[in-house]
Amino acid sequence: MIRSTLVGAAVVLTALLASAVSAQQAAPAARKLQAVESAKTNVRQVAAQKTATDKSSAEKVAAERSAADKAAAAERVAADKAAAAQKAAPKKPVDAAGTKKPVEAKPEPKEESKSGATEVDHTADNEAITKVIDEFEKAYNDRDAKAIAALFTPEAQIIDEDGTTVQGREAIEKVFADLFEANPEAVIATDVSDLKYIGSNLAIETGRTTLIPSPGDTAILNDYSVVHVKSREGKWLMALARDTPAQTLDHAENLLPLAFLIGDWVDESPDAVVETRYEWSDGDKFIVGKFAVKMAGEEAFSGTQRIGWDPMAKKIRSWVFDSNGGFQEGVWTRVGDQWLVKYHGVNGEGEVTAGTSVMTLISDERWTWQSRDRIAGDELLDDTPEVQVVRKGPQPDVEEVVVVEEVSESK
């Protein structure tokens, strides 16, 4: 660019010289020389000024490029530092005070319910706690106080229905050992109603126990709650067990366990056939059964049975009146799949009668019956044979029977 500027200045100089010669042909030689030197000086000044301007522009461009390069370099350095800082960051989180916090293990992803709450799979826990419940019931019925105590934590507590508290495995073992010594024939059945989890290591079980101190005795019902905890080894143990008196239900609710009786039944033995019909009565506060006993096809005797709830004694009672003039009163107790009816009364001949009827449930359509430990007057009688009692099917309508007979006759 400088070279082209000099060429341009020379062209301008030539034009000026030509113009000076043309205008001053009569001027002296010294004046010509002065003009020439003045023109040369102007050319040099123009060239110098142009050179300075170009140099300033070039320096400015260079400075701008240098600043941009420095900024880019600074950005790269900052990025590299950030990456290095991220890699070197501590694995434990730091709170505002600068104290390192322990790393919490991320839980495995779990399914969420429709409400958004996380649902935990407690299948294995359910099996483990159910095993504890079964082992307690077995140990109780085996009178094994040591095995029962082993199901509790070392500092566990048990609280009975009266509020008495016992703490520690040794004390718990002694309580059950004394209980078994006083009631060597006691049996217990457990009915779990609910099992809830609080977190992953705590569960609360609620239910009801049926305790029979000795065969034929009235059952003692207690509601209970148990707090289960999971040990560091992953074993579920009982930490707190509490009994409370069973809640009182109304008459109909207390008879619901016998609701399967409603309907028609028949049982046959080598000596007799007994047909019975059970129905709800008096606003469902009683179950009334009417039975007829046939021998050799002829009705031998009949009777009525009324089953109800005794709100004072909190027991199911029954009263039987037969056509021979006899009557009995019985107390019902459920043990597993059996109902034990311990009865006493008087027969039509005025003799005292007593015994225990045993109903063993097979299904809603079938059960067995047997009378044991029978007494009539001063005589001890043999147990009756066990007979099958089955539900009778619905009887056809009279119109249907007539139609079937007419069709048969037409054929």
- Would you state the structure tokens that stand for residue 54, as one six-digit string? 């170009």
**CB neighbours (10 Å) of residue 68?**
10
The correct CATH number of 252-391 out of 2.60.120.260, 3.40.50.300, 3.90.1300.10, 2.40.128.20 is 2.40.128.20
**Pairwise CA distance, residues 265 & 20, whole Å:** 152
**Pairwise CA distance, residues 407 & 358, whole Å:** 46
Phi and psi at 207, nearest 5°, equal 180, -160
Nearest to 367 by CA among 291, 266, 277: 266
Of the candidate ranges 3-17, 144-158, 383-397, the one whose mean pLDDT is the lowest: 3-17
Query: 301 forms bridges with which residues in the sheet?
Result: 293
**Pairwise CA distance, residues 179 & 231, whole Å:** 28
**Pairwise CA distance, residues 140 & 160, whole Å:** 16
Widest Cα–Cα separation across the chain: 186
**Pairwise CA distance, residues 232 & 32, whole Å:** 117
What is the average per-residue pLDDT within 261-288?
Answer: 91
Query: 94 forms bridges with which residues in the sheet?
Result: 100
Asked if the domains 123-247 and 252-391 are classified in one and the same CATH topology, the answer is no
Band the pLDDT of 71: cuts 50, 70, 90. low
Of the candidate ranges 25-34, 158-167, 386-395, the one whose mean pLDDT is the lowest: 25-34
User: Dihedral of the CA atoms 317, 321, 325, 327 (nearest 10)?
Assistant: -10
Nearest to 176 by CA among 149, 197, 194, 153: 149
**CB neighbours (10 Å) of residue 260?**
14
> Chain-centre distance of CA 108, in angstroms?
18
Nearest to 346 by CA among 321, 370, 371, 382: 321
Amino acid present at 357:
S
Extents of the domains making up the chain = 1-22+29-53, 123-247, 252-391
| pLDDT digits 0-9 by tens, 77-129 | 566 655 555 544 444 443 433 343 443 434 444 445 444 556 778 899 999 99
How much is the pLDDT for 108? 42
**Pairwise CA distance, residues 208 & 221, whole Å:** 7
pLDDT of residue 3 exceeding 50: no
Better-predicted residue by pLDDT, 236 or 43:
236
- Would you state the structure tokens that stand for residue 411, as one six-digit string? 């054929």
- Would you state the structure tokens that stand for residue 128, as one six-digit string? 């483990």
Band the pLDDT of 29: cuts 50, 70, 90. very low
278 by Cβ neighbours in 10 Å (0-12 / 13-18 / 19+) ranks as buried
- Would you state the structure tokens that stand for residue 320, as one six-digit string? 């039987």
| pLDDT digits 0-9 by tens, 281-312 | 998 899 999 999 998 888 889 999 999 999 87
Hey, CA dihedral for 293, 295, 298, 301, is it positive or negative? negative
Under DSSP, is residue 139 helix (H, G, I), strand (E, B) or coil? Answer: helix
How much is the pLDDT for 121? 86
What is the average per-residue pLDDT within 363-367?
Answer: 91
Q: What b/e sequence results for 395-410 when a residue is b if at least 16 CB atoms lie within 10 Å of its CB, and e otherwise? A: eeeeeeeeeeeeeeee
Find out whether 102 and 90 touch, Cβ atoms under 8 Å: no
Phi and psi at 365, nearest 5°, equal -110, -5
| pLDDT digits 0-9 by tens, 309-346 | 998 788 899 999 999 999 999 999 988 889 999 999 99
What is the average per-residue pLDDT within 142-160?
Answer: 96
**Pairwise CA distance, residues 156 & 241, whole Å:** 8
**Pairwise CA distance, residues 130 & 140, whole Å:** 15
Give the mean pLDDT of the chain. Answer: 77
Of the candidate ranges 4-13, 57-66, 126-135, the one whose mean pLDDT is the lowest: 4-13
Fold of 123-247: Nuclear Transport Factor 2; Chain: A, (3.10.450)
Hey, CA dihedral for 217, 220, 221, 225, is it positive or negative? negative
pLDDT of residue 404 exceeding 90: no
**CB neighbours (10 Å) of residue 204?**
14
Does the pTM surpass 0.75? The reply is no
